[in-house]
Each structure stands twice: as structure tokens, then as C-alpha cells.
Chains A and B, each alone.
Chain A
């Protein structure tokens, strides 16, 4: 039976078993199913990549997800080249337009309380949301994978210590830790990326550690050892490439989660500092006027967040299926 959710068997002692639930139920493929392809150094042949791609493209949800993400990338980064609006100076924006005006009259989606054009602002804010979401997910993945691979590879007391640190980190509710970090370090956009990564690297660390534990006992890894391959080589050329499925799937889900975390920070008022903004800050700004009936300040930004987050979840789900199907030698 296919197991699209990839549920592990018994996550009570997540430290003792190589399976972990990502909070909120989106769980990457359980490591025990991720048998690596036969063969040593992971030089993915064209055939394998092709097969993954084929399964991925056959999945309708995957295609929908990719189309949505591609649309928003074009919309946010190329849109401003076509649709010119002032998004940095509220005073100038106010001189040329009015506050809180409804859609129409040169503003297809209306204006906000500072006179900024909403359509233009969606592009401007989307750049930040996407950049922060994607880069923080990448940083979290790189850090987590390195940490997890080292921990699992060396094993023993060292591994136990490193995993206990992960346990401790995971027990702190993310938003509280995030707020504590932002309060102490104060915000800038670059720092937000780091701070979101700091609260997000724990899950991949644990996932990859689990995979490493099973990979390091395989014949081809033993063979490299016997041939005198260095530890760096074993981890870098064999263990990490053979865990690529888990890594990619996690990174995809994390982009969605990072965008949501940034939105939550924006709502609390600790998001990207002005004059920059992100979809979450836009939305929470609109929410302040919810009782005034300015619906155009809420729904467009809300829809952007929901669509992008769903799209990344679609892609992540489909990637997981694709990698699993490959491994099952369909």
C-alpha cells in the first residue's frame, strides 16, 4: 500500500528511532523506506532524474504547484518592470492618490492606509516574502543536513549529545523562540532570514541523522572506508547525495513554513522593518481596518500567502511521492 503521508511507525522516542514528525503533520518520507539506489558514489544517471521528473510531472497537483510558484515569481520580480508604482515613500504616494480608496480609478486593487497602490505593493511585499522564505529554508536545510549527517556518522555519545540539543530546541514553541530572538537581536531583513533558519534547522537535522545511521552501515560506504576515503568524502559524496530525496522534500515544505512564520512575525509587529514590507505585514495592516470594510486590504494579500503556501505543499507532497516511487522501482 502506498503511504502518501510517509508516517513513521512509532515516533514516541523520536531520538531513538530514525523517524520524526514535523510539527503539524507534514512528514517527510520516513527514512527507513528511503533505500538508496544501488551503486556507490551517487552519480545520478540521467535515467533516474528522468524517472523522478516523469512521475513528478504526471502528478497534477505538482504541476499546479509549480505553475503557481512560477506565476508569483514572475508577478513579484518582473511585475514591477511593467506596472510602475511608488512603494517606498508614503508622502509621495499620498500626494498622488488617496488613502484607503477602493479598487478602480487607476488602482486596480485600491490603496492602503498610506496611499500605496495595493497591486504594486503585493509585488513589492511578495519579493520579501519569497526571498526570506526561500533563503531561510535553504540556510536551515544546509545547517540541519550538515549537523544531522555529522551526528549520525560519528554516532555514540557524540551523537547522543547532539541529538539531545535538538530535542531541547524542538521543545521550545517556535514563535516564542522567534520572538525572544527578535527582541534581543532587533530586526533587519537579513537577520530575519537567519532567525527563521535558527528555529527551523532542527527537523532536517533529525531526519538526516536518521538516514545517516542507516546509510553508514551500507556496503558501498564500508567500501569507501576500506579504500581510505576521508570522512568528509563519505559524508559529502555518499551520505548526503543519497539522502537527497528527504533533503529536497524538507526544503520545499520549509519554504511554505518560513513564509507563514514571517507572516506571523509581521502580524505581531516584529516583521521586516519599514519601508520594506511582506505579505504578512500587509495583511496585518489590512486586518487593522477589518471593521471599516476595506476588504481589498485583506483578501489579496491573504490569497497570495495561501496560494504560495499551498503550492509549496503540493510540490513537496509530489516530490515525496516521486522519490518514493523511484525507490520502489516502479
Chain B
């Protein structure tokens, strides 16, 4: 297990370094002087651009720039300055990141709580109406743009029925989501809906697979009740890959959070990115992309560690 963890950690570090490199390359692949234009504005004169490039070392050989960039990000945790926000990118992100983390965390948990029983139900009642309805709904929610779902929820549950507030409180921290749960019901549903669709489909097929395994047949042959076979044998084995699925789906959930935050005007990383993009604030967009990706990688890493703990083949094996 230790070897597994070390190998996995090494992988994560390589991927993070790679992401830093890609984000750096993005600034280079774009139109020339993209950074300078973003900083000074559309009316930048050639002299101003040249001065900006000089000051920020953008005229140096590319390898020097790579080295300086990686050093700046990794050693000094400096993500640059947002000229549009008049603030360091790191400082802005420090306020926003916890909100997105808590939104993603809560929605993923809710999605799992709904999807796992749903998947089991579909297997127990497979090819019956319940199964078809659930499959149909998962197609529907997968196909529905999440900003449409969010808007419809606001329209009916916040404006018409007035069950929930339209938007979560603006000045929220990581814990606000737990302090004022009612305000977060609609955003969490919006974000969880697509994930439930994907998770329950996977859970259904994972259970079907497990039901076809030899150990299930053995258990049946020994005379175990169908309930015991289902929950004792099939479910335990079907649950393990779900942990991995959460890790693999995390980037998609985080993408969904971006849309959800924009719909509900929830000041997390997604809304920050969208606003920065409309203002051509390149430093902030690249900073949020980098930080969100690193957070996602760490999340997937945690999921894999959990997987290792849950799966005796890895926990006890030498892999």
C-alpha cells in the first residue's frame, strides 16, 4: 500500500508540474503580447507594450521564461496581478476557492447518496418500468444544459413557490453552506443532477457486472438469500469502482460548478473565471484554471487513497 501511495503521489506531482507548464504555454501560443494587452488595455501603444514586456521578462529566451514562471508559481506561489481587479490573483483566489470546494463537496456527496440507491433499485427492478423511467431521466438530465436547469429551478422554486432564496448569500465562507443550508438547496440540486445521471448509470452497470461474477453464483449456490447476495456480495464489490469514478468525474463536476456559480451568482472560482474572461483579464483566468486544476488533482488523489483503503486487494497487496 505504501508503494501504491508513493507512486500515486509521484504521478500527481508530475501532472501538476505539467499543468503549470501548459498554463505557461497558453500565454505563449496566443496572439503576441496577449499579456501586455490584457494588463494595459486595448489602447496600449507599442512603446508601453515593449516596456511591459521588458519589465516582466517577456523578452527573455523561452527557457528562461519557463524557469522564471515555474519558480514564481511553485516557490513564491505568485499567480500574477489582476489589473482589472486591482488585486493579486492569489489574494482573490484565496477568498473564492473555499466556496467552490464546499459547493463541489456537498453536491458530490448528495449525488452519491441519491445515485447509489437508484442504481441498486434499477438492478433489482431491471427492465421494469422503474428502470426505464430512471434511465430515461438520466438521459434527460444529462442532455439538459445545467444553466437551463438552474434557471428553471429558480423560476419555480424560488420565485413562484418562494421555498428557497434566489441566490446564496454573497459574503459566504466555506462554512456558510452548512450554516444556511436552505440557500444552497437549488445550487446543489443543479450541480448534482448531471452527476446523479452519470453515477447511477455507472452504478447500475457496475452492479450488473458484479451480479454476473463467479462469487455471486457461488454465494447463490451456497443458498444465500437474494438480499444477502445483493447487499453482502454484489454491492460491496460494485461500490469500490464508484470511488474511482468520483475521482475521474471530479473535473467534470468542477466544470459544472462554474456554470452553477454563474447561474446563482455565487462568488466562487467559476464566477470569478467567467467575469475575468469577459474582462479579458488573462492573469486571473490562467490563475483560476491552474488552481482549480490543482485542487481537482488533489481531490482525485484523495479518492484514490480512499480506494486503496477500501479495496483489500490494494490494501493488503504489494501493488
B209, A7: Cβ atoms closer than 8 Å: yes
- Bound CA span A45–B201, Å: 35
B73 interfacial by beta-carbon distance below 8 Å: no
Q: Is the interface of B mostly helix, strand, loop or mixed?
A: helix
Q: Does B151 contact A (CB under 8 A)?
A: yes
- B contact residues around A283 at 8 Å (CB): 145, 147-148
From B206, B208, B241, B296, A1 is in contact (CB under 8 Å) with: B208
Bound-state CA distance A5–B129 (Å) is 19
Decide: B145 and A7 in contact? CB cutoff 8 A.
no
Q: Residues 276-293 of chain A: 1 if any B CB is under 8 Å from the residue's CB, otherwise 0?
A: 000010011001001100
Q: Say if the beta carbon of A165 comes within 8 Å of chain B.
A: yes
Interface residues on A, range: 35 or more
| Alpha-carbon separation in the docked complex, A6 to B201 (Å) | 11
Chain A residues within 8 Å of B254, by CB: 173, 176
Q: Pick the contact of B143: A10, A12, A174, A310 (CB < 8 A).
A: A310
Q: Is the interface of A mostly helix, strand, loop or mixed?
A: helix
Determine which of A7, A11, A167, A287 lies in contact with B147 in the assembled complex, contact meaning CB atoms within 8 Å.
A287
Query: Which chain B residues lie closer than 8 Å to A226 at the CB level?
Result: none
| Residues in B whose Cβ lies below 8 Å from that of A307 | 143
Given contacts A7-B206, A183-B277, A305-B145, contact A171 B296 (CB under 8 A): yes
Binds B, one of A102-110, A207-215, A259-267: A259-267
- Report whether A173 and B293 are in contact in the complex, using a CB–CB cutoff of 8 Å: yes
Residue from the set B145, B211, B249 with the largest chain A CB neighbour count within 10 Å: B145
B6-37 Cβ-contact flags toward A at 8 Å (1 or 0): 00000100110011001100110111001000
B248 close to chain A: CB less than 8 A: yes
Interface flag for A169 (CB, 8 Å): yes
Is A280 a contact of B145 with CB atoms below 8 Å?
yes
- Whether A298 and B296, one on each chain, are in contact in the complex, defined by CB atoms closer than 8 angstroms, is no
B280 within 8 Å of A (CB atoms):
yes
Residues in chain B near residue A298, CB distance under 8 A: 148, 151
Q: Mark B195-206, 1 if CB is under 8 A from A, else 0.
A: 101110110111
B248 touches A21 (CB 8 A): yes
CB distance from A199 to the nearest CB of B (A): 10
CA distance A263 to B195 in the complex (A): 18
Which 6 pairs of residues, A with B, have the shortest CB-CB distance? A5-B205, A25-B198, A168-B18, A184-B30, A309-B143, A23-B252
Binding site for B on A (CB under 8 A): 1, 3-7, 10-12, 14, 21, 23-27, 164-165, 167-177, 179-186, 256, 260, 263-264, 267-270, 280, 283-284, 287, 290-291, 298, 302, 305-307, 309-310, 313-314
Residues of B near any A CB (own CB < 8 A): 11, 14-15, 18-19, 22-23, 26-27, 29-31, 34, 139-140, 142-148, 151, 154-155, 159, 194-195, 197-199, 201-202, 204-206, 208-209, 211-212, 241, 244-245, 248-249, 251-252, 254-255, 258-259, 262, 270, 273-274, 276-278, 280-282, 285-286, 288-289, 292-293, 296-297, 300, 304, 307
